[in-house]
Chains A and B, each alone.
Chain A
């Protein structure tokens, strides 16, 4: 009797992947490949490299799922931090090697033939709108450093140089920005749940 994995939590799927279950890997891929691919593409602006990073992230998950410990945090946080780090590392390697910005930009009209189910799609869209609204509402100086770090892949030193601000100020803005973002996400998520 085949197991229906759809209702399983990410953390349960991760445990199954650690046991060598490829079906569980496929389902986690369906849930997170778009986000992993999109954040890689946002940072690198190169489809081919974003595909490579997405593939690396999920193959790495296959090999290292056993190192994930649910008591230390959500699976999505763990997976997305790995994906972001890989993309940022790649971006900095490209910059060090003096590679130019790729020509190819992202397209939204790429038709997928497989992927998350429509309910998941709606949930992702809701998540995105909540995050974007929260980022929009951050104080400009805090928003600026979060965007430059997370979406542009700049180091704290590069950000300080670009903005002409002391490094300590940049660190403080990052910390305050994260805390403010947490509060806004909580409030907006509460509003979303109340309105449903």
Chain B
């Protein structure tokens, strides 16, 4: 069973093989310990992928679903009878004073809540700006890490007659079978359009993914070619509808050899 632990933590067992391993791990403490050690190493591979943001709305969807699926743990709230018992214990002189204090407190709490809301809005705005800057910096660091990393192959593309000043560089890391495409001086895209990368092998075009560009005409895309890059002879970029096309339909703006 020991020789199945590495394939198990890497997700390389099919469903039929996985179940006996899981059953064994429930009964065998030494194997379970070894599997945990292997699992820690395997999971670190998840941090090796280039990070992509999920859509911002996804978090709200997760939290909304969680709210609709309440857990069985009891909520931790103070006993509701305590305040009633205090009120009951006050005499006729104390009660109006206590009520006045309560009203003043309530007004104060409302004012405080408004102030906190304003502050939170300002903090959120500052945070969004900081995150945008951090993201830009991260993209630049990521590109730099690719450019300076070991065993990286570099390919270039130049603009066609429809975008003569456009350019792109693709850095391919064979060890991870992953590439980053950095494009610049690209024409701005109309709404509903994206750029799509095509990898050409024996005349067949395979999509390498879609990307957009910012206001300065710069864009980046991660590329995971279905085959090692050496299997392709050339590449190109065309303008396509959002979501991409099965084959190139729009104007070609970049081309290059592989």
B-facing residues in A29-45 (Cβ within 8 Å): 29-30, 33-39, 41-42, 45
* Pairwise interchain contact A84-B7, C-beta atoms closer than 8 A: no
- Of B95-103, B104-112, B141-149, which binds chain A? B141-149
Is A181 part of the contact surface with B, judged by Cβ < 8 Å?
yes
Proximity string of chain A (91-103) to chain B, C-beta cutoff 8 Å, 1 when within and 0 when not: 0100000000101
Q: Name the distance in Å between B216's Cβ and chain A's nearest Cβ.
A: 12
Q: Give the residue of A62, A106, A109, A112 whose beta carbon is less than 8 angstroms from that of B66.
A: A62
Q: For A168, list chain B residues within 8 Å (CB).
A: 3
Residue among A146, A159, A179, A185 having the largest count of chain B Cβ atoms under 10 Å: A146
Q: Contacts A115-B131, A133-B149, A175-B6 given; indicate if A110 touches B73 (C-beta within 8 A).
A: no
Q: For B207, list chain A residues within 8 Å (CB).
A: 103, 105
- Of B41-49, B78-86, B164-172, which binds chain A? B41-49
Q: For B58, list chain A residues within 8 Å (CB).
A: 33, 37, 51, 54-55
Q: For A22, list chain B residues within 8 Å (CB).
A: 63, 66-67
Q: For B150, list chain A residues within 8 Å (CB).
A: 133, 136-137
A-facing residues in B43-79 (Cβ within 8 Å): 43-56, 58-59, 61-63, 65-67, 69-71, 73, 75-76
Proximity string of chain B (203-228) to chain A, C-beta cutoff 8 Å, 1 when within and 0 when not: 00001111111100001111110100
Proximity string of chain B (88-129) to chain A, C-beta cutoff 8 Å, 1 when within and 0 when not: 000000000000000000000000000000000000000110
* Pairwise interchain contact B180-A83, C-beta atoms closer than 8 A: no
Distance, CA A44 to CA B196, complexed state (A): 18
Q: Name the distance in Å between A164's Cβ and chain B's nearest Cβ.
A: 16
Is B30 part of the contact surface with A, judged by Cβ < 8 Å?
no
Q: Contacts A33-B59, A109-B219, A159-B12 given; indicate if A38 touches B49 (C-beta within 8 A).
A: yes
- Of B155-163, B229-237, B242-250, which binds chain A? B242-250
- Chain A residue nearest in CB terms to B67: A22
Q: Name the distance in Å between B82's Cβ and chain A's nearest Cβ.
A: 18
- Chain B residue nearest in CB terms to A148: B12
Q: For B62, list chain A residues within 8 Å (CB).
A: 25, 29, 54-55, 58-59, 62
Q: For B252, list chain A residues within 8 Å (CB).
A: none
Q: Contacts A109-B214, A113-B128 given; indicate if A42 touches B49 (C-beta within 8 A).
A: yes
- Chain A residue nearest in CB terms to B246: A103
Is A187 part of the contact surface with B, judged by Cβ < 8 Å?
no
Distance, CA A78 to CA B13, complexed state (A): 18
Q: For A54, list chain B residues within 8 Å (CB).
A: 54, 58, 62
Proximity string of chain B (180-194) to chain A, C-beta cutoff 8 Å, 1 when within and 0 when not: 100000000000000
Residue among A26, A157, A175 having the largest count of chain B Cβ atoms under 10 Å: A175
B-facing residues in A120-153 (Cβ within 8 Å): 121, 124-125, 127-133, 135-138, 143, 146-147, 149-153
* Pairwise interchain contact B51-A59, C-beta atoms closer than 8 A: no
* Pairwise interchain contact A107-B211, C-beta atoms closer than 8 A: yes
Q: Name the distance in Å between B42's Cβ and chain A's nearest Cβ.
A: 7
* Pairwise interchain contact B10-A146, C-beta atoms closer than 8 A: yes
Q: Contacts A54-B58, A131-B44, A174-B7 given; indicate if A105 touches B176 (C-beta within 8 A).
A: no
Q: Name the distance in Å between B203's Cβ and chain A's nearest Cβ.
A: 19
Q: Knowing that A22-B67, A106-B50, A115-B131 are A-B contacts, what are 4 other residue pairs whose CB atoms are under 8 Å apart, sorted by A's residue number? A: A20-B73, A104-B209, A146-B10, A152-B177
Q: List 7 A-B contacts (CB under 8 A).
A: A51-B58, A54-B54, A107-B221, A108-B139, A155-B7, A155-B12, A175-B38
Q: Which residues of B pack against A, CB within 8 Å?
A: 3-7, 9-15, 36-56, 58-59, 61-63, 65-67, 69-71, 73, 75-76, 127-128, 130-135, 138-139, 141-142, 145, 149-151, 173, 175-177, 180, 196-197, 207-214, 219-224, 226, 243-246
